[in-house]
Amino acid sequence: MDPLPGKFVWFEHLSADTGAARSFYERLLGWHVEMMPIGDDRYPLIMNGSDGIGGFVAAKSGEAPQWRGFLSVLDVDHSHRTALAAGAKSLQGPTEFGVVGRGATIVDPTGAVISLWKSTQGDRPDVPQAPPGQWCWNELWTADPRRALAFYEAAFGYGHETMDMGEQGSYYMLAKGGQSRGGIMRSDAPAQWVPYVAVADADATTAQAQALGGRTMVPPTDIPGIGRFSVLIDPQGATFAVIKLIPAQA
């Protein structure tokens, strides 16, 4: 598989109770977990059917529950240096992770955390539409979207398109290699990347999340021409979104 720089290719759930997090998402989204050996350790690999899409990781002391996106780059060391020069702070310098790849973790200038990643296996190809249970979008919520946009363009070579959201201001769609890869929007919530997972029914998934102990931040809402989504907070406190996509045109 070829690398796809600029694509968010992996997501890890960080919390103090990985067992409870695993139970919630397995029941909500139909995922299952396989333990993957990495050196002397075993990594709880999130599987959507036969596809590995992320992992459950114990949060460090003081680390907020979160979903953390991994951004594909061609050279982790170079991208890490470029990000720091553009105003980011380093949480973890470039590090080898067994035979699976090399990564680093940064905090962008507005306070959102992402990881940089280069897989030894390349990146899963893009598909016309993500199937249920698969990640399909990543969205940065920040109090300073223009500063965030300038950073991601300078550090990772994104271009962008702008959508007018009225009172909510501008929505910036990041693009690279001819593909839209993520969005940036203004929010009063703490700066964070919020990943979207495709589902068959956003309303039913939202109701099930509530029954399993989750909370609704944004109730099911239509996005004209895109689909119907909601934003949820899981029982551990991590924010994520679900979306029923309008079927892709043949």
What does the chain come to in residues? 250
**Domain limits at 139?**
135-245
Mean pLDDT for 134-156 is: 98
The pLDDT value recorded for residue 169 is 87
Confidence band of 249 (pLDDT split at 50, 70, 90): low
Residues 69 and 157 reside in one and the same domain? no
In a domain, 197, yes or no: yes
- Share of residues in the chain with pLDDT > 70 (%): 99
Last residue in a domain, options 84, 119, 154? 119
In a domain, 144, yes or no: yes
Give the Cα separation of 174 and 170 in Å (integer).
13
In a domain, 127, yes or no: no
CB 129 within 8 A of CB 194: no
Confidence band of 42 (pLDDT split at 50, 70, 90): confident
205-238 pLDDT, tens per residue? Answer: 999 999 999 999 999 999 999 999 999 999 999 9
CB 241 within 8 A of CB 232: yes
Overall number of domains in the chain: 2
The pLDDT value recorded for residue 223 is 92
CATH code for the domain in which residue 110 is found = 3.10.180.10
The pLDDT value recorded for residue 167 is 81
Confidence band of 250 (pLDDT split at 50, 70, 90): very low
Phi, psi of 55 (to 5 degrees): -155, 165
63-83 pLDDT, tens per residue? Answer: 999 999 999 999 999 999 999
Give the Cα separation of 132 and 199 in Å (integer).
4
Among 45-49, 99-103, 167-171, 191-195, name the one with the lowest average pLDDT: 167-171
Enumerate residues 6+ apart whose C-beta is below 8 A from 187: 141, 142, 143
Widest pairwise Cα distance in the chain: 52
105-138 pLDDT, tens per residue? Answer: 999 999 999 999 999 999 999 999 999 999 999 9
Greater confidence (39 vs 236) lies with 236
The pLDDT value recorded for residue 36 is 87
Residues 64 and 145 reside in one and the same domain? no
Residues 106 and 179 reside in one and the same domain? no
Residues 157 and 240 reside in one and the same domain? yes
3-state secondary structure 5-62: CCCEEEEEEEECCHHHHHHHHHHHHCCEEEEEEECCEEEEEEEECCEEEEEEEECCCC
Last residue in a domain, options 93, 119, 145? 119
Mean pLDDT of the chain: 95
The pLDDT value recorded for residue 200 is 97
Mean pLDDT for 10-16 is: 97
160-206 pLDDT, tens per residue? Answer: 999 998 888 899 999 999 999 999 999 999 999 999 999 999 999 99
In a domain, 181, yes or no: yes
In a domain, 129, yes or no: no
In a domain, 49, yes or no: yes
Last residue in a domain, options 58, 87, 119? 119
Residues 141 and 240 reside in one and the same domain? yes
